[in-house]
Every structure is written in C-alpha cells, then in structure tokens.
Amino acid sequence: MHSTLNSSLPTLPRLRTSLPGKRAQELIARDVAVTSPSYTRGYPLVVAKGEGCMVEDVDGNVFLDMTAGIAVTATGHAHPQVVEAIQQQAANLLHMSGTDFYYEPMVVLAESLANRAPFPANDGVRARVFFTNSGAESNEGAIKLARYYTKRDRVLAFLGGFHGRTYGAMSLTASKKVQREGFGSLLPGVNHIPYGTHASLDYLEKQLFLTVLPPQEIAAIVVEAIQGEGGYLVPEDGFLARIREICDRHGILMIVDEVQSGMGRTGKLFAIEHWEVMPDIITLAKGIASGLPLGAILSRPEIMTWQPGSHATTFGGNPVACAAANVTLSLLEAELMDNAHQRGEELQAGLNKLAQKFKQVSPARGKGLMVAIDLLDTEGNLNPELRNQIVDRAFHHGLLLLGCGKAAIRFCPPLVISQEQIQVALEILDKVIRE
Ligand SMILES: Cc1ncc(COP(=O)(O)O)c(C=O)c1O
C-alpha cells in the first residue's frame, strides 16, 4: 500500500495505476460520506507522503506538486531540518499557551519577524507581533487592531480579494459569490473597489470620498500586495505607493495581507518589498511554518497598544509551530528566496513560450514562484472550462495544479523546486494543452 513510505520519493512524476487508484477510491468514498460538502476538491488526489516538491498518493503514484498545499509548504514537503525541529520541540513541549505564559521558540520567532518587518524602526524596534492559527484569524485580528487604534470603524477592501472565511475576514473577502451566499449580514462599514489600477483609486478619491465614504471614518485599507485567489494579479506600478499616500493623508492604516504572497514566495520575504512601500500592519499565515498551522499579525510598534486581555488566543504561537517557523525563516533567507526568484524567472519564460505557441494561453504574470496564466477561448475571452480541463488532465499526467481567478492556473510550488522540475512541469503542461 504505502510502498515508499520510509524511503525517498523519485524527483519526477511516476504513475503506477489509473487515477484514482483502488485505495484512493475507497478513501474518497469514506470521506464523502462523513465530511463537510463545502470542501472543494478539484481532482481525486489522496496523499500519503510528501518530500520536497513531490507527493505520493495512497496507491504509490508520485506527483510533481505545483500547489504546495495551497502555497503553504514553502521549504518543501517534510524538509528534514523542519521535521527535526518539530520532533525535538514536540518531545520537549507541545503546548503551554503563549497568551498566558512565555516560551523561547515564540520569543525567537517574534524577534526574527520584528527584525525583518518592512516598517521604520522606532527606538530600535521595528514591529510587534501577535500570533494566530490561520490567515483568516490574522485578518480578523488586524481589523480589530485597526479599529482599536484609530477609533474608527470603516474598512476598505478590494473586489477579487480573499482574506478568509470567518465573519470579519469574510466581510473583506470579495472573491466568489458562493463564499457569502446564505450567510447573512456581515461586518457593517466595509466597502470594496476594483483592485490594482489607478482608475480604481481615482474612483475612490474623486467619487467615494466626496459622496458616501468620508475618509476620516476609515480605520484601514486592506490590500493584498499581489492578489492571490483573485487571479495572481500584480497591481499597476504606483498602486500600492498611492494607497500608502492616501492612508497618510487621511490617517488611515494600511494593512497588507501577505498570507499568500509573503514568506519568500515572491523572491522577497514580503511581496510589498518589491514596491518599497511600508505598510502599518502585515498579516501572515500559510508558508510561515512550512505546513504547521500558524499565522501572525505584524504592526508598527506604536500601533499595537491594545491592553492585556483585549485580544488573545489559546493556540496561536504554539511552540511546535514556532519551532518549524524559526527553521523555515532561516532556510528562506539562506537560499530559498533566491531559488524562488530564479526558478520563477524560468517558469515565467517557459510559460511565455507556451503563450506564443498556443493562442489559448495568456502571457504569464507574477513574481518569484507566485505565477499564473489565463486560459482563453479562440476569441481571447477567459475560458474557465478549458482551465478546469487542463488542471484535471495535468493531474492524470502526474502534475498537480490549482486554479485561481476566473480562468487562471496558478503555479505556487514549494520554494525548493529544481530547474529540472520546472522544465518537466512545463513539458507536461505543453503536452496537456496539445491534447
Ligand atoms: C491572501 C489570503 N488571505 C487570507 C487567507 C485565509 O487564510 P486561511 O485559509 O488560513 O484562513 C488566504 C487563503 O487562501 C489568502 O490567500
């Protein structure tokens, strides 16, 4: 059954059965009978093992993973140093609650993140850090912090944005109707405008601010540095700097959601650093601990002044997750951010060749290993059906992909991906598109 569970996986795809295999079929049938139907499984992959960029299913088929478990396993699946840190920490202390007690892995991680935060230093300190368990929880806390600090309650976010699914975070999320439909009223005072263009900010300043949205009532503008679920959209140059300037002019806090774009994925620790803009608050999760559940809110130190008891969580900053994150950060800085940059350039170049070859493929966009293409029909319109077909066919050729936006395929592999693996992913994609 688990043929290679204790040995190394091959570094390229290897399919042994038709898909899904027998064992996968059995587990999927059991899963479907008892788990929430709200889960969105795109294809029938039942994972047993992961190593680097490869995952093995329960029937011994090995896939090249261009998803990293939705942009999470930054250092690759089961990086030996991360696994070792987790094992050691687990043997010492599994939990104590950083809300009520102190422990070293959390102190070390808070210091590292604070030292690297792209905020101006204040008395030698760049940031304060609050630890959470997920991206939604980071954004939830960031809204609370912004309201608490500014004593204002409105929030501005962007169409296509994704910030999580708890009520506060969901109020910011404006990605798909199904994520809101049937769930009743959300946080009041949240407005959305289109993402990424100066035209949208013109609309904000020349229409909304002068009519329905007094800027002095806005606590925060929440923006993704690169819009993730919305399609891996890179904003126009100057867009993020202009938000900074609008925030400064009106006493609004700039919250940058780096849950998907952060932690080295774009070749810099925080994607906002590509534009050299300093936000007030950054939210993190996903890649921060290579797969263990952890998130963080970083703020300029003078903003995080909420009093003891005003915000806390039992599990946030769990010692095992912090130990994994501490190793993750050092691996990112030692080599993986550079690898993300270099492999990302190769990936974009290869995808652009496919775009020249097939008129159904748009030019690539993104930064580092946060890259996407759109699939198009013969008239050049977005073609979600073709995208879904390609994602499904790629799975049957041993390549794991994820969609995003209306008709995009996103490429967010582990940051350890090799040159050869990028080339093989491109070859499989070429074959699948031809089919
Ligand atoms: C930019 C962004 N923010 C927030 C979230 C929510 O994170 P989580 O699923 O950990 O709650 C996501 C998840 O995809 C995301 O991409």
**Residue 263 · residue 269 · CB < 8 Å:** yes
Q: Select from 295, 312, 331 the last residue of a domain.
A: 331
CA 297 to ligand 1 centroid distance, Å: 13
In a domain, 243, yes or no: yes
Residues 52 and 110 in one domain: no
Backbone angles phi, psi at 424, to 5 degrees: -65, -40
Q: Select from 331, 366, 396 the last residue of a domain.
A: 331
What residues are in contact with ligand 1 under a 6 Å CB criterion? 134-136, 139, 162-164, 224, 228-229, 257, 259-260, 285
Which residue among 162, 175, 224, 282 has the greatest number of ligand 1 atoms within 8 angstroms of its CB, and so is best to mutate? 162
pLDDT of residue 7: 65
How many domains are contained in the chain? Answer: 2
CA 26 to ligand 1 centroid distance, Å: 30
CA 124 to ligand 1 centroid distance, Å: 31
CA 175 to ligand 1 centroid distance, Å: 12
In a domain, 361, yes or no: no
pLDDT of residue 255: 99
Residues 289 and 201 in one domain: yes
Residues 15 and 138 in one domain: no
Closest ligand 1 atom to residue 70 Cα is 14
Strands across the sheet with 62-65, in order? Answer: 47-51, 54-57, 62-65, 399-400
CA 163 to ligand 1 centroid distance, Å: 5
Domain CATH for 187: 3.40.640.10
In a domain, 395, yes or no: no
Q: Between 419-434 and 384-396, two packed helices, what is the crossing angle to 10 degrees?
A: 120
In a domain, 9, yes or no: yes
CA 71 to ligand 1 centroid distance, Å: 10
Neighbours of 212 (CB within 10 A): 8
CA 342 to ligand 1 centroid distance, Å: 25
Residues of the chain with pLDDT under 50: 1-5
Residues 193 and 300 in one domain: yes
pLDDT of residue 123: 85
In a domain, 292, yes or no: yes
Cα 247–chain centre separation: 24
Which residue among 222, 259, 412 has the greatest number of ligand 1 atoms within 8 angstroms of its CB, and so is best to mutate? 259
In a domain, 118, yes or no: yes
Residues 55 and 134 in one domain: no
Which residue among 137, 163, 224 has the greatest number of ligand 1 atoms within 8 angstroms of its CB, and so is best to mutate? 163
Residues 210 and 261 in one domain: yes
In a domain, 385, yes or no: no
Residues 170 and 246 in one domain: yes
For 197-229, what is each residue's pLDDT tens digit? 999 999 999 999 999 999 999 999 999 999 999
Residues 111 and 148 in one domain: yes
Residue whose Cα lies nearest atom 4 of ligand 1: it is 163
Residues 29 and 124 in one domain: no
Residues 55 and 95 in one domain: no
In a domain, 426, yes or no: no
Which residue among 260, 261, 281, 294 has the greatest number of ligand 1 atoms within 8 angstroms of its CB, and so is best to mutate? 260
Q: Select from 305, 331, 357 the last residue of a domain.
A: 331
Residues 28 and 110 in one domain: no
What domain range is 177 assigned to?
83-331
For 316-368, what is each residue's pLDDT tens digit? 999 999 999 999 999 999 999 999 999 999 999 999 999 999 999 999 999 99
Residues 236 and 164 in one domain: yes
